[in-house]
Amino acid sequence: GQSLEQPSEVTAVEGAIVQINCTYQTSGFYGLSWYQQHDGGAPTFLSYNALDGLEETGRFSSFLSRSDSYGYLLLQELQMKDSASYFCARSPSPNDYKLSFGAGTTVTVRA
């Protein structure tokens, strides 16, 4: 089962900023990743945090707070093409490549 919680859906307009939160159970946690999946497509990697703080990659940023067992993905300057599902995923250790995924957040961008 999933040990990560994220909102099921978010709707926003073009140009807006969206923050998708992800909370996780601390047991067996090493790092948090984010993946984007368009309908019918493969999940694609967006960002990864193993340390506290903000990782910025273009319009997308990810944040992790290990003390709060919490992370988020920030989508800035939203575009229509950003309409997709976004998944947070936890890694249990640096040498264990298995991922456990959250339930996913469907982001709908409106004109």
Partner 1 sequence: SAVISQKPSRDICQRGTSLTIQCQVDSQVTMMFWYRQQPGQSLTLIATANQGSEATYESGFVIDKFPISRPNLTFSTLTVSNLSPEDSSIYLCSVERDRPNTEAFFGQGTRLTVV
User: How far apart are the C-alpha atoms of 106 and 85, rounded to whole Å?
Assistant: 4
* Calpha distance 50→69 (Å, rounded): 12
Total number of residues that touch partner 1 (CB under 8 A): 26
Q: Give the C-alpha separation, 80 to 60, whole Å.
A: 14
Residue 48 contacts partner 1 per CB under 8 A: yes
**CB closer to partner 1 out of 58 and 94:** 94
Of 14-22, 26-34, 56-64, 66-74, the window that binds partner 1 (rule: CB under 8 A) is 26-34
Nearest distance in Å: CB 96, partner 1: 7
CA distance 26 to 96: 16
Q: Cα 81–83–87 angle (5° rounding)?
A: 120
Whose Cβ is closer to partner 1: residue 12's or residue 99's? 99
Q: Which residues bind partner 1 (CB under 8 A)?
A: 2, 30-31, 33, 35, 40-45, 48, 87, 91, 93-104
